[in-house]
A and B are shown apart, each in its own frame.
Chain A
């Protein structure tokens, strides 16, 4: 690298990145032309999608409600479990042999995407929203727990020292320092996972785990694009609405 002229040397990271992108595209036979080649087909589907069929509009409404309920229940249970799990995973509260175990559990829960959880849980809990709620719950524990233990560990160590010096036990430390100091983050974190999970819940129906995605895949697979279109619009609307609402709420919490 040292023999390269300075412009190449200074930009080497960008040049390497670009080469990796080009190499990957060649490896996967991906060229912008592949889109153009299927343009006719794409236009046909787009045309059918735009021919919106509202005969199933009531189902859009009810499946949106079901999706929101799944996200709310799964997020709430997952979030509630993630708090004690994150406390157990915090090195400043529990000894390393306990925290290490809980960190591992949280990482595993988080590393499996909700859709994969849903596939696994449909085979256990059967088709329907129960599997979806459980999938959201499992993922939320990991997602929220990993974030929370980092918050807990970054708290002011002198407050911990002080209550330890007074002789407070672990539960008292959690009550008087950890939870109050994290209170602002807790409500924000719940809103964040709820918003995230509304979007995730919308596609869990693809594998039969309830919610709006169930109808979406039903009509897409039977090539009834016109009927599928209102469900796609429904997903866009609830995702954007949740994002807007949670941003408003978070700003309100921060300004308090």
Chain B
């Protein structure tokens, strides 16, 4: 087993963009998160790994303010914050099932990401500011989906849907993007394309990426740090380059031959 890795209780520095401290959360009778702490530096790409049911998605939802923890504290940019409607716009989210609205066309699905960037009446009447419409088309061009602008989301392929979900997050101009298992349902080639897009955006805008992945190779290739959680607790924070299959298997308490 490797000994290397980052000390799990590292110093909180001024570059820390997100810090969750001793987060506990129960759903019904079972405690999903059991005092979990995590801290992410600005501009980093990190992956949270763990077996099914370990609390990865729940952790993302707490960070997004969609689930209220029973105990623990959330810090953004070093400040303790409660997530509210007003300060949500810096948090981007790509959920595992993408949550596209099937009956809306691609353009409308993307423009949803910009609702906090314009007055409410404009979004409600569909009178979008010209610069936001222009931006939406630029993003669609960049992702190669502009020809699909008027196509309903339900008609799209898996890879196209991923691009729409990414576009919806880009137009939001977030400081952090939470991406939950976004390559899980894709073939190898499409997964590489989607991760390439996301990495490109990170390099261009300096956005912080907090991802969950099941695939070790994907996690290693696209993130700097990997957090391994299990049963609602942080097991290990490790540099991606130091993580290998054997190490992961040991952490998951499964034999290497079974992986």
Q: Write the chain B residue with the least CB distance to A158.
A: B99
Are B112's CB and A176's CB within 8 A? yes
Interface size class of A (residues with CB under 8 A): 20 to 34
In the assembled complex, the CB of A156 is this many whole angstroms from the nearest CB of chain B, namely 7
Q: Which of A159, A161, A162, A167 meets B116, CB within 8 Å?
A: A167
Complex: A177 Cα to B123 Cα, angstroms: 13
| Contact call B101/A181, Cβ cutoff below 8 A | yes
- A167 — which chain B residues lie within 8 A by C-beta? 85-86, 88-89, 115-116
Which of A164, A166, A168 has most B Cβ within 10 Å? A166
B212 within 8 A of A: no
Which among B61, B85, B101, B102 has the greatest number of chain A C-beta atoms within 10 A? B101
Given known contacts A166-B113, A168-B115, A184 and B103 CB-to-CB distance under 8 angstroms: yes
Tell me whether A177 and B113 are in contact (CB under 8 A). no
CB pair B101–A176 under 8 Å, yes or no, is yes
Asked if residues B120 and A158 are in contact (CB atoms below 8 Å), the reply is no
Q: What does the 1/0 interface line of A150-175 toward B look like (CB < 8 Å)?
A: 00000010110111111111011001
Contacts of B6 in A (CB 8 A): none
Contact with B along A161-199 (1 / 0, CB 8 A): 111111111011001110011011000000000000000
B91: CB under 8 A from chain A?
yes
Once A159-B100, A171-B124, A183-B103 are accepted as A-B contacts, the answer to whether A165 and B65 lie under 8 Å apart by CB is yes
B101 partner, pick from A159, A161, A164, A169, beta carbons under 8 A: A159
The A-B contact count (CB < 8 A) is 67
Find the B residue at minimum CB distance from A155: B101
How many Å from the CB of A235 to the closest CB on chain B? 38
Q: Residue A165 contacts which of B66, B86, B104 (CB distance < 8 angstroms)? A: B66
Rounded to whole angstroms, the CA-CA distance of A51 and B19 in the bound complex is: 88
Establish whether residues B104 and A176, one from each chain, have CB atoms under 8 Å apart when the complex forms.
yes
Across the interface, A166 reaches (CB within 8 A) one of B100, B103, B172, namely B172
Task: State which residues 66-121 of B face A: CB under 8 Å.
Answer: 66, 85-86, 88-89, 91, 93, 95, 97, 99-104, 108, 112-113, 115-116, 120
A164 to chain B, nearest CB (A): 7
The answer to whether A171 and B120 have CB atoms under 8 Å apart is yes
Question: By the criterion CB–CB under 8 Å, are A161 and B88 in contact?
Answer: no
Q: Is A176's CB under 8 angstroms from B108's CB?
A: yes
Given A165-B88, A180-B101, CB of A158 within 8 Å of CB of B95: yes
A172 touching B124 in the complex, CB below 8 Å, given contacts A163-B112, A167-B85, A167-B89 = yes
Most buried by B among A171, A175, A183: A175
How far is the CB of A159 from the nearest CB of chain B, in Å?
5
Cβ of A147 to closest chain B Cβ, rounded Å? 18
Instruction: Write out the residue numbers on chain A whose beta carbons fall within 8 Å of the beta carbon of B100.
Output: 159
Extra contacts, 12 of them, besides A162-B95, A167-B89, A168-B112 (Cβ < 8 A), are A159-B99, A162-B99, A165-B91, A165-B93, A166-B88, A166-B115, A167-B85, A167-B116, A171-B120, A171-B124, A180-B103, A180-B104
A-B contact pairs, 11 of them (CB 8 A): A156-B99, A164-B66, A165-B64, A166-B172, A167-B89, A167-B116, A175-B124, A176-B112, A180-B104, A181-B103, A184-B103
B interface vs A, CB < 8 Å?
A: 61, 64-66, 85-86, 88-89, 91, 93, 95, 97, 99-104, 108, 112-113, 115-116, 120, 123-124, 172
The 6 tightest CB contacts between A and B, nearest first, are A162-B99, A167-B88, A180-B103, A158-B99, A167-B116, A159-B99
